[in-house]
Chains A and B, each alone.
Chain A
Amino acid sequence: MDRAATAEKIAALIAPFNKKDIAVTDATSFAGDLEFDSLTVMDFVAAIEDEFDIIISMNAQAEIETYGQLVDAVVKLQG
């Protein structure tokens, strides 16, 4: 799957967690802008993992702060 298609799918998965309807760009941060707490992160990561059938380990999560970084990571993890 290319970056655009991956980005689109991830955007759709963010929607239910985007309580304040923040406009999402590559620079949007999960903790700062979307205000994800640790419980939300867990559910959201599980949703992404299931959608793409990948593992995003805690080690990998630690490197991901923004939507753009997540899209890049998922593209890479899909190999």
Chain B
Amino acid sequence: MTDLFSKFDPMIQMRADLLATGVTDPFGLVMEKVISPTVAICNGRETILLGTYNYMGQTFDPDVIAAGKKALDDFGSGTTGSRVLNGTYSPHRDVEEALKEFYGMDHAMVFSTGYQANLGIISTIAGKGDYIVLDIDSHASIWDGCKMGDAEVVPFKHNDIEAMEKRLRRIPEGAGKLVVLEGVYSMLGDIAPLKDMIAIARKYGAMVLVDEAHSMGFIGPNGRGVAEEQGCLDDVDFVIGTFSKSVGTVGGFCVSNHPKFEIMRLVCRPYVFTASLPPSVVATAATSVRKLMHAADKRAHLWENSRTLHKGLRDSGFQLGTDEPQSAIISVIMPDLERGAMMWEALLHEGLYVNLARPPATPANMTLLRCSLCALHTADQVQTIIGMFQRAGKTAGIL
């Protein structure tokens, strides 16, 4: 019998080698108690959270929690059904209304996760004979959406406008085209030149989908994302987003002004063939989304945090993913996986949690310590974080 698991042997070996160095398993962390959006107890130690994507700190907002509790009481713990059968309750409709208000768009469709939103929309709208032109550093859910559909998939070098244009130009006359971009790329925390890229996509008659998972709530005058910030949201056909970051719960969505958009509810399999979100989840999301429309102060503080941390880490001598802070993700580049894991562990001992990202999820096979800031990190916490990095950097031999 061929062991179907033998293909994972290199991965199993890599993990074993890493753990043999004695480091704590970076992928086995458990939070025993969560005190606030920025602090939890991990391994009995109070730990500052700097790797949660909880950008706007909505997870403990009293209004958000109250809305969830009420929906739990009023509608029960779950829907036990698909959105198109018995799984649409009034809170599901209400969160779609909230999204339409938030983005100023005609249609909103809520999926069980952001992963499924990308999977469903991309695989459904781009069919046989169509072309998907996408950035090579796209999120796994975008790639999987491409893989699930029947379209021709054509990647281009990250954020390379000329490479994108060349590929659009070469697509056969008459073929349907979808350009897929992200506002913020979560590995390095860099943003896309959406305005220029979307103008070119339009010129070649392509439809445009932008994943704004890592920008919602704090980039753009109304927190609608990088496309809004750059003044090109009107030229985006489909915005994909998630509730699992700034909104502070779970779920995904697509908003659009396409006049035929509603048909997606019947033809999009990752929407139809799975149970809808629990009513408490969509109720918390609706409350959170509406509160994000009036969060200018929080937004300003989050940017302040991002600038302070970026400068502090750069001045300490760390190599960062971007020269300037472009989002609420500050990515610290590690020399290799082993020292990355050592640094990650040293930070954890200091009482700081960050995300360790390693190949193959990372661009150019880099090992990264990704820091995502929260609007509720205090200025003092950010200074504490910088000190922790300096000490851990010396312990791990990186500084």
Contacts and interface: CB of A to CB of B under 8 A. Distances in A.
B193 interface: no
A55 B365 CA distance: 25
Interface residues on B, range: 10 to 19
Interface stretch (A12-20, A22-30, A38-46): A38-46
Interface in B146-185: 146, 152-157, 163, 166-167, 170-171
Contact of A39 (B131, B152, B163, B364): B364
Interface of B is mostly: mixed
A70 B374 CA distance: 49
Contacts of A39: 364-365
A58 B364 contact: no
Given A55-B171, A57-B131, A59-B153, A50 B146 contact: no
Main secondary structure of the interface of A (DSSP, over half): helix
B363 to A, nearest CB: 9
A40 to B, nearest CB: 11
Interface string B121-160: 0000000000100001000000000100000111111000
A31 interface: no
A39 B137 CA distance: 11
A53 interface: yes
A57 B130 CA distance: 11
Interface in B349-366: 360, 364-365
A16 B73 CA distance: 66
Interface string A29-67: 000000001110010001001100111011110000000
A49 B169 CA distance: 12
A42 B365 CA distance: 13
B170 A53 contact: yes
B166 A50 contact: yes
28 contacts: A38-B360, A39-B364, A42-B136, A42-B155, A42-B157, A46-B156, A46-B163, A49-B166, A49-B170, A53-B170, A54-B170, A55-B131, A55-B152, A55-B154, A55-B167, A55-B170, A55-B171, A57-B131, A57-B152, A57-B153, A57-B154, A58-B146, A58-B152, A58-B153, A58-B155, A59-B152, A59-B153, A60-B152
Interface of A: 37-39, 42, 46, 49-50, 53-55, 57-60
Given A57-B131, A57-B153, 20 more contacts: A37-B365, A39-B364, A42-B155, A42-B157, A49-B166, A49-B167, A49-B170, A50-B166, A53-B170, A54-B170, A55-B131, A55-B154, A55-B167, A55-B170, A57-B152, A58-B146, A58-B153, A58-B154, A58-B155, A59-B153
